[in-house]
Structure 1
């Protein structure tokens, strides 16, 4: 009797584990290409506060380079303009929204990294971002013009080791926010601010007294995030084919220039 009880208990435990696995599986709600097309709907995680990639215009409507990519991608995949659902997300939600199936893909300024590639899949890049500098000092034309002067950087950002490596003579001043960096620059306590070129492009558009120094100090590919798994390979391959064609046609470059990206 005890052995039968143990056997039944083991089976119940195994069934329970399977149920928990299905409930907690990161891809339990994710849809493959055929399902997306059959339902006529593409859900895309985007930013709504990041000029010029994804932000709300004066009319409250979402716009920017990544918004245009989502719109055209939806048209290509679904063959209709009204099947796109844009889901604004915070930075810390971009990967999770794909993992838990809230969205089918994310186009939300996500850089491809080895760590992220362990849990999600990536398309080929649609834009190559990187660390850049902005300044309002007319004497600074390139990053090489900065020697022992102060550069503002966000606290605990990956920009810090990069600047130390590329501009070892510069003095770094940590700031908690972009507004704090701007205050530092306005007071003359720093000659430049280092951050992502895409974000700084939006800064320059809002504050034209600043200039973005080129070229960037690093290259970071921005890619579309997809669920990881064989069932999603068709979706990833189709997106890659579309992006490759857009690159060959020059559409991606033209739209990046249109939105003021370097």
Structure 2
């Protein structure tokens, strides 16, 4: 018995070294990327005193920077209103700019509490994250600078630019089967083709094209909406986030009922919510 105890005492330092190595590897796995996970349940958010929210900063009029570098837009207004109602201060937010490809992953990886970054709520995405009730109904529309084009029927047998592989392709084909579709890689390419009259119009998301019209007033959005897609706040799944999800949903439902969201939508030139 004493010999076994002596052997344990001799091996114990080795065990301590191995434990330390395992401990370091564990924490390096969590923190080694330099990206501190900051999502939290509502009680923790209240204790720390701020929300972390992923937003767009280059998507007028939803989320963009003005000439002074300040964040502006419908989604920025919504984020500030949520901070005011949940924490008592509109500036109780740490904003994180996010690329389109990362809008869900920053929530999945607990890097932010919420994402308000022009995310359409879909069934497939809902398997990964939770969505709030919609705060705006987006959808495909058509923009043109041709003064002779007043309605979508005026574009029969004419050229319409669409983003390659986007859902808008099928929507335009449904409404205008005889139109000639011209695939483009970006909004910039579509504007270039429209400017030099290679195409007669461009079909894309209403929220983005509303910002386009604000920047380039020679363009007009045709009145027919080709689709309706709900934009929602992205929230984490899990029972520990129930209170956060409930408070966000209740707040957005209240903003809708009171008309605050409608006023903000119209303020940013996005038209009437449908």
2:143 matches 1:134: yes
2:237 matches 1:237: no
Q: Partners in 1 of 2:177 and 2:246 — Cα distance?
A: 42
Q: Partners in 1 of 2:204 and 2:253 — Cα distance?
A: 28
2:163 matches 1:154: yes
Q: Is the 8 A contact 1:29 1:100 kept in 2?
A: no
Q: CA deviation at 1:102?
A: 1.2
Task: Provide the TM-score with structure 2 as the length reference.
Answer: 0.84
Match of 2:88 among 79, 95, 106: 79
Q: CA deviation at 1:81?
A: 3.2
1:1-262 map, 5 Å? 30-262=39-271
Which deviates further from its counterpart, 135-144 or 251-260? 135-144
SS of 1:260's equivalent? coil
Q: CA deviation at 1:29?
A: 5.6
SS of 2:68's equivalent? coil
Equivalent pairs counted in the alignment come to 242
Q: Partners in 2 of 1:256 and 1:29 — Cα distance?
A: 30
112 and 191 in structure 1: CA distance in 2 versus 1, 3 angstrom threshold: same
Two-structure CA RMSD over aligned residues (Å): 1.9
Q: Is the 8 A contact 1:30 1:99 kept in 2?
A: no
Q: CA deviation at 1:166?
A: 2.0
Q: CA deviation at 1:144?
A: 2.5
Q: Is the 8 A contact 2:39 2:52 kept in 1?
A: no
Which deviates further from its counterpart, 156-165 or 248-257? 156-165
User: Where in structure 2 are there 5+ consecutive unaligned residues?
Assistant: 1-25, 31-36
SS of 2:124's equivalent? helix
Q: CA deviation at 1:136?
A: 0.8
Q: Partners in 2 of 1:245 and 1:82 — Cα distance?
A: 20
Q: Is the 8 A contact 2:38 2:110 kept in 1?
A: yes
Q: Partners in 2 of 1:47 and 1:159 — Cα distance?
A: 21
Q: Partners in 2 of 1:193 and 1:186 — Cα distance?
A: 11
Task: Provide the TM-score with structure 1 as the length reference.
Answer: 0.88
Describe the superposition over 1:6-49 as per-residue Cα deviations: whole angstroms up to 9, x where unpaired: xxxxxxxxxxxxx89x96xxxx8631111111211100000000
Question: Of the two, which has the highest radius of gyration?
Answer: 2
SS of 1:71's equivalent? helix
SS of 2:146's equivalent? coil
User: Where in structure 1 are there 5+ consecutive unaligned residues?
Assistant: 1-18
